[in-house]
Amino acid sequence: MEIGIDSFAAAPVGANAAAALAELLERIELADKAELDVFGIGEHHRKEFLDSAPTMILAAAAARTSRITLTSAVTVLSAADPVRVFQSFATLDLISKGRAEMVVGRGSFTEAFPLFGYLLQDYDELFTEKLELLLQIRDEELVTWSGKFRAPLRNQAIYPRPLQQKLPIWLGVGGTPESFVRAGKLGLPLMVAIIGGETHRFRPLVDLYRAAGKKAGFAPEQLKVGLHSLGYVGASSQKAVDAYYPGYAETFTRIGRERGWAPVTRSQFDAQNGPRGALLVGSPDEIAAKILRHSESLGGIDRFTFQMDNAGLSHNQLMDAIELIGQKVMPLVNK
């Protein structure tokens, strides 16, 4: 199983943005040295995040690393131009010598739609059309295509081409059955973001994905499943929870005010961090066991990524967690 980190490049309150990005690059460099498999950068267009141009961060990281896969988490394809998305990641692939991937999705925030002149009511139609074009660009050097939301392409060459023969494109999904089926029909690897509830409840959706992929003629090894969850690894369970909970509660209570959720309580957190809950906050032994339990409940997963920088943790705390993941969690999971 591949194990890695996803970051939204959180901008700590009162912190210098340049310093925060410098620390993020240090963490990616450490993840590479600790032999983690993958590091992903999200895409948001909000004050509290510094990841509005993720390929810029990933390219800087490519120059400081040698083995780790560099990906998005996720690219908000609905509000982007597939030509520019492909060109950016193809360039990243050349810079990193074949270590680029992308996870494309529709995102959990909506700021990108008015920012780039799109209507939120076209949410799904935009994504469907742009995914079709992106996959055609990946598979064909000369592209002829027409659609509703973009000027047509007529025998247009798209450059540069990546170093990899076929640039990996994962489909990032939340909880709609249609998204899982779409990934299966297209034979795309699936990245499931589970940030709440009980992970095993997603099994019927993952089964839909695998069934759709099989029906479309794709081999089981092509139908990879990844899991993205909130988590943090500490030296002990108590230390991990004590460090993570206050910032987690503040972040999700603040987001909840925007979305009409009730404030986060400690009992809710403890339930989410229990044996079947989506959170993975604890000691290395606990977290390794929970990753394996989640994998079994979903019929096997190929990749797991931690989202850790959503709880106001310090740079040193995040660095320590990365070392624990590399030195203790990964060996336990893959043993």
Which pLDDT tens digit goes with each residue over 201-221? Answer: 999 999 999 999 999 999 999
- Residues 6+ away with beta carbon under 8 Å from 263: 249, 253, 256
Radius of gyration (C-alpha) of the chain in whole angstroms: 19
Token output for 83: 């030509």
Pairwise CA distance, residues 134 & 138, whole Å: 6
In the block, tokens 């400081």 appear at: 64
Taking the model in full, what pTM does it have?
0.96
φ, ψ for residue 280, nearest 5 deg = -125, 80
Pairwise CA distance, residues 64 & 69, whole Å: 12
Q: Judge whether 34 and 3 are in contact, CB under 8 Å.
A: no
**Residue 120 half-sphere exposure toward CB, CA atoms < 13 A:** 8
Which pLDDT tens digit goes with each residue over 306-319? Answer: 999 889 999 999 99
Which domains, and CATH codes, for the chain? 2-334 (3.20.20.30)
b (16+ CB within 10 A) / e for 222-232: ebbbbbbbbbb
Which pLDDT tens digit goes with each residue over 11-49? Answer: 877 679 999 999 999 999 999 999 999 999 999 999 889
Which pLDDT tens digit goes with each residue over 273-285? Answer: 999 999 999 999 9
Average pLDDT, the chain: 95
* Secondary structure of residue 193 in the 3-state scheme: strand
Token output for 80: 């982007």
Instruction: Write down the pLDDT at residue 252.
Output: 87
Q: Among candidates 178, 171, 199, which has minimal Cα distance to 124?
A: 178
Pairwise CA distance, residues 61 & 69, whole Å: 10
- pLDDT over 70, % of the chain: 100
Which pLDDT tens digit goes with each residue over 150-167? Answer: 999 999 999 999 999 999
Cα dist. 223→3, 187, 208 in Å? 17, 6, 12
